[in-house]
């Protein structure tokens, strides 16, 4: 595959490069990557983990990223102690470890408030004895002005949950799916260990399906624009965005401004608003390959790249074939991977080894009719020639009935259960009882589950690398010890979910086990669809 380097984006200082880019000859793959620490001038750069902490906790306050977190006192200027063989940074880490490992007599307590920026406070608690002074720093998350109140130790101190450094490594892998549709991407993310926290959609039929598939998630039944207009924060580890593709697809099934719902022509410039509300470390996108394939969509594609890099995210894209990832139906999709500044950007998953999945192998997994719900057995009568089913389905499953919906017997169309599994959904995936047209639209719009599952395996690998980098940095600056990091890492092993084999009870138990602490929202912000 031929590649060529494209012009890099530069900072205000003409001699300081911020991004580098590479693209395939036809633009069907490429990347625009923010430079890593080792790729910059060591005298000017900072550790890669520092911008991640900055993006997650400090960026909204206007404070810039720093090599050392606010509140950590490290002597970087002292010379090496030849006898002990340690530097000032090592001694700081040692003192921090001692202060955590043993209790001390505390005749007097002193609490100092350090104001770093508006609405962000750092509280340093010092415990004094006659012989030594030791301290441990704790961070307070910034809150909205209405959450700030007077305190005895300062004029305005945010009253929120204290965020310890260990929490940076122990963050649950929560997930937010925007314009979730048939939730194929969410299903794949859940299977590899993501905790599904939020799903946003507008059509009621789609929301009812999401409620059935993810009973423990918050279903946000509203327009994307209405969601972005509130001032709430929905912080998650990962997010997925599937902008409606009807106006960009090769079939071009919708003109701008003619769709039933406004969200179906949602402007892609909402990326910046979405990432600022979620503060996600990694964001994935799925779109029709027509976005990069056709000249008429180039202006939209360039604007999307600009909006992704505006909040300093790195981006990598590629047109991928779903049949290379276990899907029995042909489907080429543009997959976009992005990561916040400083965080490792995942690579794309390699094709699965062995022969591709076939129609016959997929239909053999459907199971007996008695185990299928009545609304999933609906089909249309046909009278067409039969065909060999020992191949992949040569057509893409779309929202409306087409040639790709014919059963190998030629006597009928695929029923809804068969169609869902050919589209990539696992056997245990449930759908709400709606008409065939609505159900076909939900299935046809979904991201193939096999592709999403392989993609999110790489996303979780990227999260692992980011947490390892964060742990090394926190040890280096004396915020944590190696023992602290190792203990936290041992406790973080996301469990996978096999939707084709686990019982409903086991499935629900696993979902509840990996849930993050409950977040409270006002009723007008989260709407749960009634049964």
Active site residue 259: no
Q: DSSP characters for 337-406?
A: EEE-TTSPPPPPPPPPSSSPP-HHHHHHTS--GGGS-GGGS---B--------SS-BSS---SS--GGGB
Cα 504 to Cα 296: distance, rounded to the nearest angstrom: 47
Which one from 29, 207, 245, 340 is the annotated catalytic residue? 245
Q: How many CB atoms are located within 10 Å of the residue 182 CB?
A: 28
**CA nearest to 219, candidates 188, 190, 191, 179:** 179
Q: How many CB atoms are located within 10 Å of the residue 479 CB?
A: 23
**CA nearest to 51, candidates 59, 43, 60:** 59
CB 190 within 8 A of CB 497: yes
Report phi then psi at 250, rounded to 5: -60, -35
Tell me how far the alpha carbon of residue 487 is from its chain's centroid: 25
Cα 401 to Cα 403: distance, rounded to the nearest angstrom: 7
Phi and psi based region of residue 342 (left: phi greater than 0; alpha: psi -120 to 50; beta: remaining):
left
CB 463 within 8 A of CB 471: no
CB 341 within 8 A of CB 52: yes
Q: How many CB atoms are located within 10 Å of the residue 267 CB?
A: 13
**CA nearest to 464, candidates 175, 171, 37:** 171
Q: Which residues have a catalytic role annotated?
A: 245
């Amino acid at each position: 595959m031929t590649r060529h380097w494209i012009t890099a984006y530069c900072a205000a200082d003409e001699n300081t490069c911020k991004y580098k880019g590479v693209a395939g000859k036809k633009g069907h793959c490429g990347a625009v990557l923010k430079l890593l620490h080792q790729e910059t001038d060591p005298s000017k750069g900072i550790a890669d983990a520092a911008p991640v902490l900055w993006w997650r906790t400090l960026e909204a306050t206007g404070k810039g990223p720093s090599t050392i977190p606010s509140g950590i006192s490290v002597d970087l200027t002292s010379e090496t102690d030849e006898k002990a063989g340690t530097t000032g940074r090592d001694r700081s880490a040692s003192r921090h470890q001692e202060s955590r490992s043993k209790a001390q007599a505390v005749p007097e307590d002193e609490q100092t408030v350090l104001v770093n920026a508006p609405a962000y406070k750092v509280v340093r608690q010092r415990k004094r004895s006659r012989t030594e002074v030791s301290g441990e720093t704790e961070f307070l998350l910034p809150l909205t002005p209405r959450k700030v109140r007077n305190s005895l130790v300062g004029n305005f101190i945010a009253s929120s949950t204290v965020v310890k450094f260990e929490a940076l490594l122990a963050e649950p892998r929560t997930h937010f799916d925007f314009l979730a549709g048939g939730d194929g991407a969410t299903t794949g993310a859940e299977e590899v260990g993501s905790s599904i926290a939020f799903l946003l959609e507008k059509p009621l039929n789609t929301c009812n399906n999401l409620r059935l598939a993810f009973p423990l998630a918050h279903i946000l039944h509203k327009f994307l624009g209405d969601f972005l207009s509130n001032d709430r924060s929905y912080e998650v580890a990962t997010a997925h965005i599937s902008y409606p593709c009807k106006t960009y697809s090769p079939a071009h099934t919708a003109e701008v401004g003619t769709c039933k719902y406004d969200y179906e022509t949602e402007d892609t410039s909402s990326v910046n608003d979405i990432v600022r509300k979620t503060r996600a470390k990694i964001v994935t996108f799925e779109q029709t390959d027509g976005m990069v394939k056709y000249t008429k969509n180039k202006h939209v594609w360039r604007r999307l790249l600009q909006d992704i890099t505006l909040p300093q995210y790195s981006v990598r894209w590629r047109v991928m074939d779903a049949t290379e990832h276990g899907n029995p139906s042909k489907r080429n999709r543009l997959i976009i991977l992005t990561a916040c500044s400083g965080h490792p950007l995942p690579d794309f998953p390699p094709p699965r080894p062995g022969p591709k999945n076939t129609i016959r192998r997929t239909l053999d997994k459907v199971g007996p009719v008695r185990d299928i719900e009545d609304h999933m057995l609906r089909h249309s009568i046909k009278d067409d020639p039969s065909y060999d089913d020992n191949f992949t389905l040569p057509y893409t499953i779309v929202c409306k009935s087409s040639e790709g919906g014919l059963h190998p017997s030629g006597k009928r169309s695929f029923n809804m259960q068969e169609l869902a599994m050919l589209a990539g959904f696992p056997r245990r995936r449930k759908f709400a009882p709606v008409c065939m047209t609505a159900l076909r639209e939900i299935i046809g719009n979904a991201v193939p589950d096999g592709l999403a599952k392989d993609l999110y395996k790489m996303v979780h690998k990227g999260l692992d690398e980011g947490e390892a980098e964060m742990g090394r940095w926190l040890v280096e600056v004396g915020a944590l010890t190696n023992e602290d990091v190792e203990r936290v890492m041992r406790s973080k092993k996301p469990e996978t979910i096999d939707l084709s084999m686990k019982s409903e009870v086991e499935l629900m138990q696993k979902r509840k086990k990996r849930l993050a602490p409950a977040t409270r929202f006002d009723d007008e912000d989260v709407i749960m669809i009634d049964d």
